[in-house]
Amino acid sequence: MSVTEYNPAEIENTIQESWRENNAYKATPSKTKNKFYCLSMFPYPSGKLHMGHVRNYTIGDVISRFKRMQGFNVLQPMGWDAFGLPAENAAIENNVSPKKWTNKNIESMKVQLDALGLSYDWSREINTSSPDYYKWEQWFFIQLLKAGLVERKKSEVNWDPVDKTVLANEQVIDGKGWRSGAEIERKKIDQYFLKITNYADELLEGLESLDNWPTQVKVMQTNWIGKSKGLSFHFEIKNSAEILEVFTTRPDTIFGATYCAIALDHPLAEIAKKEDKLIKNFIAENQINEKTEAALAKQEKKGIDTGLKAIHPITKKLIPIWIANFVLMEYGTGAVMCVPGHDQRDYDFAKKYSLPILQVIETDADQKINDEAIEEKGLLINSDQYNGLNFDEAFIQIAKDLKNKNNAEVQTNFRLRDWGISRQRYWGCPIPIIHCDDCGHVPVAEKDLPVELPEIDENTSRGMSLSGFDEWKKTHCPDCNKEAVRETDTFDTFFESSWYAARFASQPNDSMLGEEADHWLPVDHYIGGIEHAILHLLYARFFNLLLRDQNLIKSSEPFNRLLTQGMVLADAFYIKDENQNPEWISKECVNTDKDKLTLNDGRAVFKDGMSKMSKSKLNGIDPNIMIEKYGADTVRLYMMFTSPPEQSLEWSDTAIEGSYRFLRKVWNLISKRKIYAKEAPQEFTKAELKLRYKSHQTLKKVTNDFAERNSFNTAIASVMELLNAVPDSFKANDATDSEQYCLDEVIQFTLKMLSPITPHISLFLWKEYSGSDGAEFENSWPIFNEELLKLENFQLIIQVNGKVRGKEILSVSMGQDELENLAKENENVKKILANQPIKKVIYIKEKLINFVI
């Protein structure tokens, strides 16, 4: 065979063509092989693959390919999370229907994915915007409705009064509509909710079984669900028949309650504002128009006294009731008891409005509430009959005493709220409900499913919602056949992504899921961005329980093992405009002269450092261009080599050259060789045994890195080390038989170990090198020989007082006494010990000895 240059484009086309022809990655249930379901979070079809996708899908593909080599029957599907806001925005901007826009994007992104050499079973492709898919979502919603897991209630949305449309949180910037710039209003409308709180306990307990999930994700979900035990009780109000219901997790601090705070729209606030103009003004001025949790928490805390006095349930003292902008009607009862001595938020508020602060908990004698609240638990003081009790004792006693007065209930509370699933949009799955004047809100008959989206008109209004489709809305009541109207809200797009994993496993035409679902489920390995740690992953776990309880699947958790990959970052550059504001520019426009960065016109360019690749910062790197330049194998190798998967990855134009160089090195070594098919030699020289040791040790490490640690960067580094360890003489033309045999071992292991990461070059070289058709190559993983890993000698590290002072190569058969004496005799060690008495000797077997003097 003639030696040619490494030409990735040619190789990759050839290999990808052969995979396509052979239907190489189509998954069918097997009775002999164990199944392995590997899933990467499917993308929103924005039109262009970005480096974040490339990284995500490469990780999933490496795991899939490795498992396939280990003999598993692997299912790795891919599809499209096709509903969502960007399609509507594109429609408004470019006058193209969301459907056309989305489907075009899917087409081009599929080509891009294929160019990466990802081993997907495309026969299972899902497009969530297709009626075949969302039909079952609608059907399932109706089952949930029947099971009492759906609630219809009023809830607030962001209303843009100029564009006359509901806005997503990200479309509200500083309280204003992103297009209109109008002040956003809060509007209450009827919406559907899924009762995820019914499953709060099970979602919490389920986390304990997820041994192969990152702890951080489990902690985040635990905190998000936020289970807490507390006391629910009420205050009576002086000169009023009303009562004030509150919940607290710290009943031990009840003697420290010096005021109560209620929400702006609490019933008591409504009463108070009728009587007092100042209060009315305060409420009007403090209406919140941005309601994300972050925005609420950062706003200045303001309040006003209602003049109402609550009667402390134990001391009977009167304490004022304030209206406060940080208390929300939606959470709990919309009212809280405030203990400024032991809650920092209450403390700040009390200082601001000169409300009394009492200390009722003592942690140690010195700690006083001079500058801040004491939030730790301790013993009760200034609490009459409860003085001296600890938290648990006080909780029980106070709960009991209040209960006896018919005013308390021990309650378990969850921070988790029910899932609001209604969206006032066009490009989503229509909620299958019909509103009838006589029969109320009636589910669409199952025979009439799916409720399909209407085709869109050429000229769309600015705000996009189904409510504008008057003809489509008109229908008849499934119960009484009277004229009725359709529900015009669509599902939250998290709905689609909550069950796609199951649908990939089984997609019958006549039902939601078939028998094959339980064959593949649960997903064995799920890979996606850490940004989905809470919402998507919690909703998907919730849906899995719903599917189980509807007897559609058997497993209780959808994802056995989870890998959350970090973001892809790149350098971002900007210039300053006349107001010193940054104006982002693309890297291509920047000239580097010595240390100065400039534009062509000489203006100074500033470096922002590494930040997430984004459109707005113009720092995205186009995967296509990189694939054209270096080939998919290099891009994949770079992605896997340059950072551990969980961490963020910093793009570097020069570093990717290094990955390309390595593959060229592999090519140059192997492409000019043929397998040296002779019998194994009987004896090996020391140098040969050393290389064989390295080969098998590397294989052992790489196997562990792939299978257990998901540590691909270190796996690649060890393969590089192995190739570096081959002596030149072994590669020479006059190498001995046994040298060639050892080199063969290196080559075979190397191609196998690289195959999951760089599948094209590996398979191509294997075929050429072995002269086989490569059929078995992707289905077998080599086994290392434990015998070759036994060592006769080891290196002993000699420390004095924990500092390395010498190293000795010693036999593993040496006893500790002998070894200790030898260590003391080491020239440098001897000098430092200088005959001083040794207080202590610490010996770590075959590793280290430490003399303490």
Q: Which of residues 250-289 bind RNA (CB under 7 A)?
A: none
What is the spatial distance between Cα 614 and Cα 718, in angstroms, rounded to a whole number? Answer: 33
Q: Scanning residues 124 to 143, which ones bind RNA (CB under 7 A)?
A: none
Does 184 bind RNA (CB under 7 A)? Our answer is no
Q: Which is nearer to RNA, 10 or 531 (CB)?
A: 531
Does 716 bind RNA (CB under 7 A)? Our answer is yes
**Residues forming beta bridges with residue 523, ordered by sequence position:** 559
Q: Scanning residues 150 to 179, which ones bind RNA (CB under 7 A)?
A: 157-158, 166-170
β-strands 483-486, 474-476: how paired? antiparallel
Contact 383, 255 (CB under 8 A): yes
Out of 14, 709, 779, 783, point to the residue binding RNA (CB under 7 A): 709
Provide the minimum distance between the beta carbon of 754 and RNA in the complex, in angstroms, as a whole number.
13
Does 658 bind RNA (CB under 7 A)? Our answer is yes
Task: For residue 310, give the nearest of 256, 261, 359 by alpha carbon.
Answer: 261
Per-position x/- string for 84-103, each x denoting binding to RNA as judged by CB under 7 A, each - no binding: xxx-----------------
Contact 114, 16 (CB under 8 A): yes
Q: Scanning residues 420 to 449, which ones bind RNA (CB under 7 A)?
A: 420, 422-424
Q: Which is nearer to RNA, 308 or 416 (CB)?
A: 416
**Neighbour count for residue 530 (Cβ, 10 Å):** 17
Burial of residue 653 (CB within 10 Å: 0-12, 13-18, 19+) is exposed
Provide the minimum distance between the beta carbon of 81 and RNA in the complex, in angstroms, as a whole number.
4
Q: Scanning residues 538 to 577, which ones bind RNA (CB under 7 A)?
A: 567
Query: Maximum distance among all alpha carbons in the chain?
Result: 107
Q: Scanning residues 340 to 379, which ones bind RNA (CB under 7 A)?
A: 345
Out of 555, 714, 736, 785, point to the residue binding RNA (CB under 7 A): 714
Does 224 bind RNA (CB under 7 A)? Our answer is yes
Give the residue carrying structure tokens 């001296």: 388
Out of 190, 437, 721, 737, point to the residue binding RNA (CB under 7 A): 721
Out of 643, 671, 695, 748, point to the residue binding RNA (CB under 7 A): 643
Q: Which is nearer to RNA, 68 or 218 (CB)?
A: 218
Q: Which stretch binds RNA (CB under 7 A): 502-510, 590-598, 714-722, 814-822?
A: 714-722
Q: Which is nearer to RNA, 229 or 476 (CB)?
A: 229
Provide the minimum distance between the beta carbon of 51 and RNA in the complex, in angstroms, as a whole number.
14
Does 664 bind RNA (CB under 7 A)? Our answer is yes
What is the spatial distance between Cα 56 and Cα 486, in angstroms, rounded to a whole number? Answer: 40
Q: Which stretch binds RNA (CB under 7 A): 220-228, 512-520, 591-599, 678-686?
A: 220-228
Q: Which is nearer to RNA, 778 or 820 (CB)?
A: 820
Provide the minimum distance between the beta carbon of 290 and RNA in the complex, in angstroms, as a whole number.
10
Does 333 bind RNA (CB under 7 A)? Our answer is no
Alpha helices in 516-562 (DSSP H): 516-520, 535-549
Instruction: Tell me the backbone φ, ψ of residue 380, rounded to 5 degrees.
Output: -75, 135
Q: Which stretch binds RNA (CB under 7 A): 247-255, 433-441, 812-820, 845-853?
A: 845-853
Q: Half-sphere exposure of 101 toward its Cβ, with a 13 Å CA cutoff? A: 21
Q: Which stretch binds RNA (CB under 7 A): 401-409, 451-459, 650-658, 681-689?
A: 650-658
Q: Measure CA 35 to chain center.
A: 25
Helix or strand (DSSP H, E) at 636: helix 632-641
Q: Which stretch binds RNA (CB under 7 A): 90-98, 213-221, 248-256, 270-278?
A: 213-221
Encoding tokens for residue 160?
């843009």
Q: Which stretch binds RNA (CB under 7 A): 308-316, 503-511, 546-554, 841-849?
A: 841-849
What is the spatial distance between Cα 232 and Cα 411, in angstroms, rounded to a whole number? Answer: 6
**Residues forming beta bridges with residue 798, ordered by sequence position:** 806, 849
Provide the minimum distance between the beta carbon of 648 and RNA in the complex, in angstroms, as a whole number.
6
Does 802 bind RNA (CB under 7 A)? Our answer is yes
What ranges make up the beta strands (E) of 371-470?
Answer: 379-380, 409-414, 419-420, 422-423, 433-436, 440-443
Contacts 24+ apart (CB under 8 A), 408-411: 408/231, 408/232, 408/233, 409/231, 409/232, 409/233, 410/229, 410/230, 410/231, 410/232, 411/229, 411/230, 411/231, 411/232, 411/247
Out of 333, 648, 785, 826, point to the residue binding RNA (CB under 7 A): 648
Encoding tokens for residue 565?
């990959």
Does 799 bind RNA (CB under 7 A)? Our answer is yes
Helix or strand (DSSP H, E) at 190: strand 185-194
Q: Which stretch binds RNA (CB under 7 A): 304-312, 455-463, 467-475, 646-654?
A: 646-654
Provide the minimum distance between the beta carbon of 287 and RNA in the complex, in angstroms, as a whole number.
17
Q: How many residues bind RNA (CB under 7 A)?
A: 96
Q: Which is nearer to RNA, 96 or 389 (CB)?
A: 96
Q: How far is CA 613 from CA 110, 515, 562, 587, 638, in A?
A: 21, 42, 24, 12, 17
Provide the minimum distance between the beta carbon of 605 and RNA in the complex, in angstroms, as a whole number.
19
Task: For residue 258, give the nearest of 351, 328, 326 by alpha carbon.
Answer: 351
Q: Which is nearer to RNA, 50 or 760 (CB)?
A: 50
Burial of residue 770 (CB within 10 Å: 0-12, 13-18, 19+) is middle
Q: Scanning residues 483 to 542, which ones bind RNA (CB under 7 A)?
A: 492-494, 497, 530-536
Q: Scanning residues 676 to 705, which ones bind RNA (CB under 7 A)?
A: 701, 704
